[in-house]
C-alpha cells in the first residue's frame, strides 16, 4: 500500500533571525498544510535545509512535526546522507520518533556506481521496518538512480515502496514505469512535471509549490487521479509561472521568500544559501499575484 497518494509538501524549516528553528512558525505551517488538504508532510527534505542542520536539529524537527500532526496525515522524514552508516542511524532514530515513512536521497558527492546505490539502499532498508521512498535528483547530487537499479531495489526490498523522480527525464520515468509495472510508486519531484508523470502511472508529487498553494497542488493531483484530466492540466499550466519563479534561484531560497511575502514567517535561509536577490523579487511577487495568492 502506498504511503500516500496526492500531494505531499516538501516543507520548509522556518528560522528566526539568529538562524535558530522557529517552532511556533513551523507549527503554523503544519496546520496550514493540513487545512489545505495536503496529503503528506515531508520534514527535513531538501526544502527543509537538512544539509545545514545538526543531527539534533533534524531529530527535533521530526519529533515536533510528528507530535503536531498527531496522526492526521502521514509524516515522512528525510533521512538521506552520503554516508550509509549515518543514513541508517538517522533512519532508525526517525522510526523511534514515530514517522510514517522515509524519504532517502541518493548519496551526494560520492558519485556511487549503480551497484553502490543498490547496496546503499539495501542496507538502509534492512535497518528499518518503515516504508522508504527513494529520491532521485541528479542535478543536486551528481548521481542518477537508473530505472533498472530502482526496479531491482523495489522488487528485492519489501519496504522500498516508491521513488521521488526529479531527474527531469520523462523518458527515464517512462522506462521505470514500464519495468516496475506498479510495484514501485512513482512521485513527481518536479512541480512542472506533475501531470506528465501522473500520465505514466505516477500517484502524486512531493512538492515545493505546495508550501504556498497546498489546496491547489492537492487538487491538481486528485482531479487527475479521479478522472478530470482537463481540469488537472489547466491547474498545471496556470501555475507554471509561479513554479518557474519558485526556482529562479536554488530551492528553498525563493519559496521561503514567497512564504514571507504571504506573511507566513518562514524567516531566513542558512549559509551557504543567501536570501532572495532584489532582482528576482518582482518575478516572484508577480507570479504570486497572477495565481491570486498575494
> Which region holds residue 37: left if phi is over 0, alpha if psi is between -120 and 50, else beta?
left
What is the DSSP secondary-structure string of 86-139?
HHHHHHHHHHHHT-SEEEEEPPTTT---HHHHHHHHHHHHHT-SS-EEEEE-HH
| Closest by CA position to 266, among listed 46, 22, 4 | 22
pLDDT of residue 224: 98
In a domain, 17, yes or no: yes
- The three-point CA angle 126-11-143 to 5° equals 50
- Is 14:29 a contact under the CB 8 Å cutoff? yes
Catalytic residue among 135, 224, 256, 264: 135
Q: What is the CB-side half-sphere exposure of residue 52 using CA atoms within 13 A?
A: 19
Kindly report, residue by residue over 219-241, the tens digit of the pLDDT. Answer: 999 999 999 999 999 999 999 99
b vs e for 157-191, b when ≥16 Cβ sit within 10 Å of the residue's Cβ? beebbbbbbbbebeebbbbbbebbeeebbbbbbbb
Is residue 156 in a domain? yes
Query: Residue 205 is part of a domain; what is its CATH number?
Result: 3.20.20.70
Q: Is residue 291 part of a domain?
A: no
The pLDDT tens digits for 39-79 are 999 999 999 999 999 999 999 999 999 999 999 999 999 99
For residue 249, being part of any structural domain is answered with no
pLDDT digits (tens, 9 = 90+) for 31-41: 999 999 999 99
Q: Would residue 210 count as lying in a domain? A: yes
Average pLDDT over residues 15-22: 96
The number of distinct structural domains making up the chain is 1
Q: Is residue 108 among the annotated active site residues?
A: no
* Residue 139 scores a pLDDT above 80: yes
| pTM of the entire predicted model | 0.97
Mean of pLDDT over the chain: 97
pLDDT at 191: 98
- Which one is catalytic: 68, 93, 164, 256? 164
Owning domain of residue 84: 6-227
Q: Is 164 a catalytic residue?
A: yes
Q: Look at residue 1 and tell me whether its pLDDT is greater than 80.
A: no
Give residue 29's pLDDT.
98
> What is residue 247's DSSP assignment?
T
111-134 tens-digit pLDDT: 999 999 999 999 999 999 999 999
**Per-residue confidence at 182, pLDDT binned at 50, 70, 90?**
confident
**What are the pLDDT digits (tens) for 272-284?**
999 999 999 999 9
Amino acid at each position: 500500500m502506498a504511503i500516500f497518494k496526492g500531494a505531499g509538501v516538501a516543507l520548509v524549516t522556518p528560522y528566526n533571525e539568529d538562524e535558530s528553528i522557529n517552532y511556533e512558525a513551523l507549527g503554523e505551517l503544519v496546520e496550514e498544510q493540513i487545512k489545505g488538504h495536503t496529503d503528506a508532510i515531508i520534514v527535513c527534505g531538501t526544502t527543509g535545509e537538512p544539509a545545514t542542520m545538526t543531527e539534533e536539529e533534524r531529530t527535533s524537527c521530526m519529533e515536533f512535526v510528528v507530535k503536531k500532526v498527531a496522526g492526521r496525515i502521514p509524516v515522512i522524514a528525510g533521512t538521506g546522507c552520503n554516508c550509509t552508516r549515518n543514513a541508517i542511524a538517522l533512519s532508525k532514530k526517525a522510526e523511534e520518533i514515530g514517522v510514517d515513512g522515509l524519504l532517502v536521497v541518493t548519496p551526494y558527492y560520492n558519485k556511487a556506481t549503480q551497484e553502490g546505490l543498490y547496496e546503499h539502499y539495501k542496507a538502509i532498508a534492512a535497518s528499518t521496518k518503515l516504508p522508504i521512498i527513494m529520491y532521485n535528483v541528479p542535478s543536486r547530487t551528481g548521481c542518477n538512480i537508473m530505472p533498472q537499479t530502482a526496479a531491482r531495489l523495489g522488487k528485492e526490498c519489501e519496504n522500498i515502496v516508491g521513488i521521488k523522480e526529479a531527474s527531469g527525464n520523462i523518458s527515464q520515468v517512462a522506462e521505470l514505469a514500464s519495468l516496475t509495472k506498479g510495484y514501485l510508486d512513482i512521485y513527481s519531484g518536479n512541480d512542472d512535471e506533475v501531470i506528465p508523470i501522473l500520465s505514466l502511472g505516477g500517484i502524486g508529487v512531493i512538492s515545493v509549490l505546495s508550501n504556498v498553494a497546498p489546496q491547489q497542488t492537492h487538487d491538481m493531483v486528485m482531479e487527475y487521479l479521479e478522472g478530470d484530466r482537463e481540469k488537472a492540466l489547466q491547474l498545471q499550466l496556470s501555475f507554471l509561472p509561479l513554479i518557474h519563479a519558485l526556482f529562479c534561484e536554488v530551492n528553498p531560497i525563493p519559496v521561503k521568500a514567497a512564504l514571507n511575502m504571504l506573511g507566513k514567517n518562514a524567516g531566513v535561509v542558512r549559509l551557504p544559501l543567501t536570501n532572495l536577490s532584489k532582482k528576482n523579487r518582482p518575478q516572484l511577487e508577480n507570479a504570486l499575484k497572477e495565481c491570486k495568492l498575494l
